[in-house]
Amino acid sequence: MKTLLKSEELIQFLGAIYLFSRLNFAWWWFPALILVPDLGMIGYVINPAVGAVLYNIVHHKGLAIVIGLFGLMTGNPYLMLTGIVLFAHSSMDRMLGYGLKYFDSFKHTSLESL
């Protein structure tokens, strides 16, 4: 099951790369921005609960989709880019085994039991 889920995340990550390629941005924007969502971990400086909330908000694929679709509806390429990068980053993290976080510890994730 773990391999199946990781392959699903890989396909979603590749799909995000394809969507990025359809935008009118230089290719280097994607690798330059792919790790920016990890700034959401800054909340762990305060405590694990705040860190988990911020991390989970930034890494929620639903939020990425809403931002990207809002950008598509309004014709705003920067919002489309933001949504695609957030989605790609979340897929990449899950592919690598980093799930959404519980409030007690950074290492306690939704993918822990898989």
Amino acid at site 89: H
Q: Once rounded to an integer, what is the mean pLDDT over residues 58-70?
A: 98
- The crossing angle, in degrees rounded to 10, of helices 2-21 and 77-95 is 160
Would you state the pLDDT for residue 105?
A: 82
pTM: predicted TM-score of the whole model, two decimal places: 0.92
Number of neighbours of residue 13 by Cβ within 10 angstroms: 20
Query: pLDDT per residue over 8-53, tens digit each?
Result: 999 999 999 999 999 999 999 999 999 999 999 999 999 999 999 9
